Structure 1
Amino acid sequence: MTLDPYSGSVDCRDWKKSAIKKAIEDGIFKEHDYVMLYNLDEFRALAKEACDNLKGLQTMAVKCNPVMSLMKEAIKAGLGAEVASFGELRIAEIAGFEPSKIIFDSPIKTKKELEYALNLGVVINIDNFEELETIESIVSKFSKEKYESLSLGIRVNPQVGAGKLTDLSTGVPTSKFGIGIEHKDKIIDAYVRNKFLKGVHIHVGSQGFEISNISESAVKVMNLVKEINARDDTKSQITFFNMGGGLSVNFESEETSPTFTQYANHMKQLLPELFNGEFLLITEFGRSYWAKCGVVVSTVEYTKSSGDREIAICHAGANMYIRTVYQFPLWRIRVTIFDSNGEYKTGNEKITDIAGPCCFAADVLVKERLLPPIKKDDFIMAHDSGAYMLSSYSHYNLRLAPPIFSFNTTNNTIELIKKGETIEDKINFFS
């Protein structure tokens, strides 16, 4: 047996220890089996670091956290919204993002959705030539003033190698996303025909990519941009450079690494034109804004022994951690064990699995780790869980999604910012 290298009950940051104690003190776990806890001060600091260092327009990828209260925090922090579906577009609009700060990326946008987005005035990145034809037919009926106000780009796939996580690598030669740079002549012709094409979009991936992988791909696309902008018939037509994707999140420790400052410094060396006013730089970070700011805390409902290991059964598993369960060991999660009073537990470690609540054998959040003895009514805290937990939540077994609380580190208070799902909510979904 090879033990999981993430073994051990993580000695986590102080705010997390304070938050769980406050949640217990406030009786939150008497009403809820499991919850999400956010430190919004940490999110605000990360958003500020990105905005201060990258300038331009920084957006958050709504796909990672389409929670109304959290999107409103993003607006306050000066971020725009990157949306990958019409549903995400509408919720971003309702949350209050300015249309000019909404970036609509999706490989499948219907004509009705495009008509809505074009009339709203959001930035649209075009995924393929057939989508471009649809847009051309729509805007042909626009007034001259409306036409000139449009701001669209083409998603160019630089067709490079994959990162460490193949399933998240969107810039490979056969990717379903964007128009391959192999079609360079047709791409240039599209800009010649359509003066509403004022930008370019690139996205090769985020998690599993080094900063150097992302920047090298950007240089490849920038060379195409410069070629287009140097032509007489498209002189300086491209004014924004949309860097999709984000930074890999460090799931191995409490450290935030790499940082937005490191990313900006690297990009300034390779692509200074993104910072000297020649282009508006647009980014679309998601996981790197939110993952480290949130944890999931579940009560331990039952424990048992089976074969050579201990098993603790909790309320968070495949219902929330779909990638962890289905792509183990690529998406390991660090955990901390607390006793029923919120005291950190360590020592006397045994080989332990932490099982989720779903009715299939692979629903195991933690496999073969050395962990301290876990008892019924203890708590399991799963770290780096502030992104994608609700947006990819599974309806399987009709498990109810948890409530979300924010923890104020200044005055040691907890506030409910999103109610948990109810049985009635779930039944209504399937009715």
Structure 2
Amino acid sequence: MGTAITDCGRTTPTPCAPLDDPAAPAVTTHRPAAPFDAAVRAAVGQGLLSESHPVAGFVDSDGVRASVATLRAAFAHSPGVLHTFAAKASSLIPVLRLLADCGMGCEVASPGELRLAVEAGFAPGTIVLDSPAKTREEIRLALALGVAVNADSIDELRRIDALRNRDSAAVLGLRVNPQVGGGAIGPMSTATETSKFGVALRDPGAREAVVRAFEARPWLTRLHAHVGSQGCPLELIAAGVAQTYELAEEINERLGVRQVTSLDIGGGLPVNFTDDAVHPTYAAYVAALTTAAPGLFSGRYTLVTEFGRSLLAKNGFIGARVEYTKDAGGRRIALTHAGAQTATRTVFMPDSWPLRIGAFAADGSPKRGPGLAQDIAGPCCFAGDVVAHARELPELAEGDFVVLYDTGAYYFSTPWAYNSLPRPAVYGFRSTAPEGEVTFTTVREAQTMDAIAAESGLAHADALTGLG
């Protein structure tokens, strides 16, 4: 695309608090909702949001770059850090390529994500493969490419024993579960007593088995742990990293050699969905790690991080047209084209994944007026397809638009194909101040009806009737 429209000016980014100050308050580092107002109006003006294009996702490329810069600044004092992006948070090749251009690596958890990372241009040595169910073929490919692999179990190490070529450049590690407990959202907590991930360190005999596994494999040089993300406090995440650091020290002491040379400390910072403030910050995370494991940043180990949601969430939004409004039981309902197919977690776990909603007029300008309690519902054919309940917003009408903020990660990049609803188009954009010019580019085209039919087996339409 690359067309542009001049619109409302973009505000100057708010300066960050000093990154080396652990007591720094939550800050809005780049993106209060207001700067997206210009993007919404421009998207409507250019027809990216319209009656014929009723829903789309948008990615702020400058915001992504700013988030990566903030992450790097927080870890600047630590030598030898590879920051990887969790591909599942935005499995879109143009987004991944932008992150590669920013100097990021990529964490992948499936053959598909590995393919996307390679196509996006990440060097194999900056890709990390994590998955609890790697096939032999998946492991074989990763080793051949020189992609780092974190085994999820002792049994997987035995598989690698049989597949590994001594000439492989792949860094090999073992994931452990420090079993430090869960956060407020159970499904997002990966270091619980019975988590499916990693070797459960506190189970009888498990810690000794890990030490023996390293002793038997001089090529095993990395430890990996990941406590969780949304709903997990910094102290819990840091405690898991500290346990992993202590285990690395124990292994190296027992073996009498510095065999463990790197620690993959995962990622998963929670995101604040209640307002524009960015918290917890990367600086606060580093401060928590320093308190829990003072030696972590000494340079004894190179570090790998795996951030996803915290880099992208506040750098994107979903725009959707209001198709109808109605009243039921004294409640106003706005029927839009953004529901469970693009906001799956919010629809099914609204208390854990609440979203802020913006109301915009048919011309894309912010709506004004007194607040009215309204349900913002989606197009899916089940009663629970509601992204916001009784939300106080200016009264919406047919042809207006709603914006779902903080949806730059997971939401529009990995839609759900319920009701055979098409995947929405995704656009990247830049805004310039003081001119307020908004430039868009296509990240992913909207899925066509032909593509939906093809994915649904059109080429084999007679397969079952032909069986007789």
TM-score of the superposition, structure 1-length normalised? 0.93
Which residue pairs with 2:453 in the alignment? 427
Tell me by how many angstroms 1:311 deviates: 0.6
> 233, 236, 240: which is aligned to 1:210?
233
User: C-alpha distance in 2, partners of 1:152/1:46?
Assistant: 29
Describe the superposition over 1:101-140 as per-residue Cα deviations: whole angstroms up to 9, x where unpaired.
Answer: 101000000011111111111111110111111111112x
Which residue pairs with 1:82 in the alignment? 107
Residues 35 and 402 in structure 1, CA contact (< 8 A), matched pair in contact too: yes
User: C-alpha distance in 1, partners of 2:411/2:392?
Assistant: 25
Residues 105 and 124 in structure 1, CA contact (< 8 A), matched pair in contact too: yes
Which letter maps to 1:198?
Answer: T
Which residue pairs with 2:443 in the alignment? 417
User: C-alpha distance in 2, partners of 1:333/1:238?
Assistant: 42
Is the alpha carbon distance of 1:114 and 1:303 closer, same or farther for their aligned partners in structure 2, counting shifts above 3 Å? same
Which residue pairs with 1:201 in the alignment? 224
> 200, 203, 206: which is aligned to 1:180?
200
> 63, 66, 73: which is aligned to 1:52?
73
Structure 1, unpaired ranges of 5+: 1-10
Residues 308 and 351 in structure 1, CA contact (< 8 A), matched pair in contact too: no
User: C-alpha distance in 1, partners of 2:141/2:412?
Assistant: 27
Residues 309 and 350 in structure 1, CA contact (< 8 A), matched pair in contact too: no
Tell me by how many angstroms 1:47 deviates: 0.5
Residues 274 and 280 in structure 1, CA contact (< 8 A), matched pair in contact too: no
Which residue pairs with 1:42 in the alignment? 63
Are 2:43 and 1:23 equivalent residues in the alignment? yes
User: C-alpha distance in 2, partners of 1:429/1:54?
Assistant: 44
Written as runs of structure 1 = structure 2, the 5 A alignment for 1:64-83 is 64-83=89-108
Moved more, 30-39 or 398-407: 30-39
Compute the RMSD of aligned alpha carbons: 1.5
Q: Which has the higher helix share?
A: 1
Fraction of identical pairs, as percent: 36
Which residue pairs with 2:388 in the alignment? 366
Tell me by how many angstroms 1:234 deviates: 5.3
Tell me by how many angstroms 1:248 deviates: 0.5
Tell me by how many angstroms 1:391 deviates: 4.5
> 322, 331, 334: which is aligned to 2:353?
331
Residues 314 and 357 in structure 1, CA contact (< 8 A), matched pair in contact too: yes
Tell me by how many angstroms 1:190 deviates: 0.4
User: C-alpha distance in 2, partners of 1:336/1:246?
Assistant: 26
Which residue pairs with 1:171 in the alignment? 191
User: C-alpha distance in 1, partners of 2:60/2:170?
Assistant: 38
Which letter maps to 1:415?
Answer: T
Which letter maps to 2:250?
Answer: E
Which residue pairs with 2:158 in the alignment? 133
Are 2:125 and 1:104 equivalent residues in the alignment? no
Which residue pairs with 1:286 in the alignment? 308
Say how many residue pairs are matched: 415
> 365, 375, 380: which is aligned to 2:397?
375
Residues 189 and 228 in structure 2, CA contact (< 8 A), matched pair in contact too: yes
Tell me by how many angstroms 1:15 deviates: 1.8
Are 2:406 and 1:384 equivalent residues in the alignment? yes
Which letter maps to 2:444?
Answer: K
Tell me by how many angstroms 1:274 deviates: 3.0
User: C-alpha distance in 2, partners of 1:225/1:306?
Assistant: 60
The 3-state SS of whatever aligns with 1:276 is coil
Residues 245 and 296 in structure 2, CA contact (< 8 A), matched pair in contact too: no
User: C-alpha distance in 1, partners of 2:351/2:73?
Assistant: 36
Are 2:187 and 1:162 equivalent residues in the alignment? no
Tell me by how many angstroms 1:393 deviates: 1.3
Which residue pairs with 1:246 in the alignment? 268
Describe the superposition over 1:237-286 as per-residue Cα deviations: whole angstroms up to 9, x where unpaired.
Answer: 01111011321000000111111122123323433433232111100000
> 200, 214, 220: which is aligned to 2:243?
220
Are 2:323 and 1:297 equivalent residues in the alignment? no
User: C-alpha distance in 2, partners of 1:173/1:91?
Assistant: 33
User: C-alpha distance in 2, partners of 1:194/1:287?
Assistant: 34
User: C-alpha distance in 2, partners of 1:340/1:201?
Assistant: 50
Tell me by how many angstroms 1:332 deviates: 0.9
User: C-alpha distance in 1, partners of 2:245/2:181?
Assistant: 18
Residues 90 and 414 in structure 2, CA contact (< 8 A), matched pair in contact too: no
User: C-alpha distance in 1, partners of 2:362/2:279?
Assistant: 32
Describe the superposition over 1:314-358 as per-residue Cα deviations: whole angstroms up to 9, x where unpaired.
Answer: 111010111111112221111010111222224322221111000
> 24, 49, 54: which is aligned to 1:33?
54
Tell me by how many angstroms 1:363 deviates: 0.5
Residues 191 and 234 in structure 1, CA contact (< 8 A), matched pair in contact too: no
User: C-alpha distance in 2, partners of 1:201/1:12?
Assistant: 35
User: C-alpha distance in 2, partners of 1:234/1:421?
Assistant: 57
The 3-state SS of whatever aligns with 2:295 is helix
Structure 2, unpaired ranges of 5+: 1-30, 458-468
Residues 320 and 389 in structure 1, CA contact (< 8 A), matched pair in contact too: yes
> 306, 331, 344: which is aligned to 1:309?
331
The 3-state SS of whatever aligns with 1:103 is strand
Are 2:297 and 1:271 equivalent residues in the alignment? no
Is the alpha carbon distance of 1:342 and 1:12 closer, same or farther for their aligned partners in structure 2, counting shifts above 3 Å? farther
Describe the superposition over 1:20-72 as per-residue Cα deviations: whole angstroms up to 9, x where unpaired.
Answer: 11112212224411111111111101111112322500000000101010000
Which residue pairs with 2:3 in the alignment? none
User: C-alpha distance in 1, partners of 2:399/2:272?
Assistant: 30
Residues 359 and 401 in structure 2, CA contact (< 8 A), matched pair in contact too: yes
